[in-house]
Structures are given as C-alpha cells and as structure tokens.
Amino acid sequence: MEAAVIENLHDICKSIEIENKKYDKHCELIAVSKTKPNSLIEAAYSAGHRAFGENYAQELQRKAAELPSDIQWHYIGHLQKSNINKIIKIPNLFCIHTIDSVEITADIVKRIPKERESPINVMIQVNTSLETSKSGVSTNEEAIEIAKYILSCEKLNLFGFMTIGHPLKPEEGFVKLVETKETVCASLKLDPRLLKLSMGMSGDYKEAIQHGSDYVRVGSSIFGARDYSKK
C-alpha cells in the first residue's frame, strides 16, 4: 500500500508538471487523504509531500495531532458551526477552502485562538454546477459580499475561490470559477494575481490546470478508492 502511494504520488506530480509546462502555470498538488490511515499519509510525507486535504473535522483534528507539524493541512469539507472549533485550533491549518456565508465566516473569526500568529487563509466555495447536493455560493453577488467581509477581518486572509466540478461537464464549472474571481476582483479592486483557484480532482485535474487552477485536490488517484464502510 505505502509503496503504491509513493508511486502514484510520483506519477501525479509528473503529470501536473507536464500540464504546468504546457500552460505556463505553477499549479500545486493537495493530496486528499480523507478516510485514509496515517501510514499512507506518512508514506507521501516521506516522499517529500507536505500539502494534505481532509473533509471531516474530527478526522483532521486527530491526524493533525498525530502527524508531523510541518504538514500544511487544507480543510476541504463542509463547514458547520459545530465543527469549526475542531478545525480552527490546528496550528498548522493552512487553508479553509469551503467558506460559503458571512455568518460562518464571522463564527470562524470569533473562535480563532488568540495565540495563532498568522492569519488563516480562506477560500470562498462556489457552487458552479448548482447541484443541490453541493455547498457553496451560487451567485457572484454572494461571493462579493463574503469577500468584502473577509477583507475586513484581520485574522483572515482572502486566499481565493474553490469549486467542485460537475462530474459530467467539469470544465463549465472551471470557466465559471474563473469568471467569479474576475468579477469579485473587478468589483473590489483586487489584484487577480494575488487570488488563487482551487479546482480539479482525480478525474479532471488536467482540465482544471488548463483553465488556470492553482491548487488541484487529488485523492483516489494517489491513495486508492475510498471505502466509507470502514471509516
């Protein structure tokens, strides 16, 4: 298992490098380790990888406590008031990708530990496919409102925008996310070069890089299919 993870990681990194060269990009890889044991994360870590993504607050809290402190954790799961405390206390939490309301943002700010020195990077999740099963804002107006609020919070750093592509037509969502970012930047007079895009997963990361992704979130192609029954 561990050897396979290292090999898969190597293959994905190579593939991302090829796409980056093609489109003159610097897209980075977040290895999505949800439901996977520490041993597999440690395998990727031993191969030099540091950015990992998790969806479940309690699982992330446990793994962050057990694994090396120079891992950069990305929280990519749904945010609820009840799970904010678990996430926000992790000292090496690098970024929350799933902000979708002013209310949840205000709740995060309230709970950030006093001892935390650096602002927390946050991304606004956009529901580009408008599937009801997915979280995220559905209009540019909402994205502007939340971005404005985040910019007013000293403890937060507006890091960018995130989306989950539609399984059948992911590229439409990627185009929409680029458009949302441009609209927010124009409206709030922000430099678009300073804001990132988090889009692309195992099935569509190459298309995402083509459309300008800065962070692809790849899970199953590295760690294998997930078995939720064993979680």
Ligand X SMILES: *Cc1c(COP(=O)(O)O)cnc(C)c1O
Say if residues 10 and 33 touch (Cβ distance below 8 Å): no
Residues 64-103 that bind ligand X (CB under 6 A): 76
Residues 29-48 that bind ligand X (CB under 6 A): 32, 34
DSSP letter at 119 equals P
Residues 179-208 that bind ligand X (CB under 6 A): 201-203
Residue 103 amino acid letter: E
Residues 141-180 that bind ligand X (CB under 6 A): 164
Indicate which single residue of 134, 166, 176, 217 sits in contact with ligand X (rule: CB under 6 A): 217
Which candidate, 118, 200, 124, places its Cα nearest to that of 164? 200
Binding mask 1-30 for ligand X (x = CB under 6 A): ------------------------------
**Comparison of 123 and 144: residue with beta carbon closer to ligand X:** 123
- Minimum CB separation from ligand X for residue 97, in Å? 7
| β-bridge pairing 196-198 and 156-162 | parallel
Which helix (H) or strand (E) covers residue 86, if one does? helix 81-88
Q: Which residues contact 102 (CB under 8 A, 6 or more apart)?
A: 145, 146, 149
* Contacting range for ligand X; rule: CB under 6 A; set: 16-24, 128-136, 141-149, 219-227: 219-227
- Minimum CB separation from ligand X for residue 14, in Å? 17
**Comparison of 210 and 220: residue with beta carbon closer to ligand X:** 220
Give the end-to-end CA distance of the chain in Å, rounded to a whole number: 17
| The Cα angle at residue 159 between residues 122 and 37, in degrees rounded to 5 | 55
- Minimum CB separation from ligand X for residue 205, in Å? 8
Q: Give me the residues that bind ligand X (CB under 6 A), please.
A: 32, 34, 55, 76, 164, 201-203, 217-221
